Structures are given as C-alpha cells and as structure tokens.
Amino acid sequence: MRVRFTWDGGEATGVLNDSDTARRVASALPAQGEANAWGEEIYFQVPLDVELDANPQQVVDPGTICYWVQGGSVALPYGPTPISEGDECRLVTAVNIIGRLDGDPRVLDTIPEGGTIRMEAVE
C-alpha cells in the first residue's frame, strides 16, 4: 500500500510492506498526530494493539517506516538520534519495520516539532 505523509509545507510518500503491523497501521488510516523529534527521527502516535515482530530492529536505514510498539507510534528516522553510533539511525528500542519512504528522507527535517503530521493511503 502506498502512503503519503503531509505536514505544513511538505510531504513525503512511501510504501508499506505486507507485515501484520503494516496492515494494522493501514487499517487505522487516515491518522494524524503531533510530530515529535528525537535527533533526526520524527514520530507521532498511532496507538494500536500490536506486539514486536519476530525480527524487530533497532538500527535501520534512513527513510525506513517503523512502528514503535512501546510508544504506540509511527517512527520515521532519517539520520542519527541521541544514541546513534556515528551516522546510523538507532531508535530508542527495537521496532517493527512497516515500509520505506520514497526519495530523500531528509525532507523530514522540514517537519516542525509540535506540528501536525498526517498519514493517509494513496492510490
């Protein structure tokens, strides 16, 4: 499923994978929340009743669309966080991988902390 993230002054698109968590996130769309920043990661709440997948990851590639189970949030890392080693994208805990952004994920740097971010399905 293709998705679009929009915020005041910007947008990004991506594709969700076929995991159980991705399907649950897709069923909750459209969703929106307050954008929180943690280093070069944006996350916003989309509370769902899901558990960690069999292969959760804590270090991911920039532009990976993640679901942070413990925080009930979609997480969009695009660079280092406060606990990263070097330039890696290291999230606070292991997350479920639910998709991938198209293009340059650094566009996420234009999302204002505290602003509204919206996630919706697109055709």
What are 86-118's pLDDT values in tens digits?
999 999 999 999 999 999 999 999 999 999 999
Q: Which CATH class is domain 2-122?
A: mainly beta
Report whether 119 contacts 46 (CB < 8 A): yes
For residue 1, CA distances in Å to 27, 40, 81, 89, 90 come to: 11, 25, 28, 24, 25
Check whether 123 has a pLDDT greater than 90. no
Helix (H, G, I), strand (E, B) or coil at 85: coil
Taking CA 17 as the corner, what is the angle to CA 117 and CA 100, rounded to the nearest 5 degrees?
A: 50
Residue 4's pLDDT band, with cuts at 50, 70 and 90, is very high
Average pLDDT over residues 27-46: 97
Report whether 43 contacts 53 (CB < 8 A): no
The pTM for the full model equals 0.96
pLDDT, position 62: 98
pLDDT, position 37: 97
Report whether 98 contacts 66 (CB < 8 A): yes
DSSP state of 84: -
Check whether 24 has a pLDDT greater than 90. yes
Write out pLDDT tens, residues 55-87: 999 999 999 999 999 999 999 999 999 999 999
What is the rounded distance in angstroms from the CA atom of residue 98 to the CA atom of residue 2?
Answer: 12
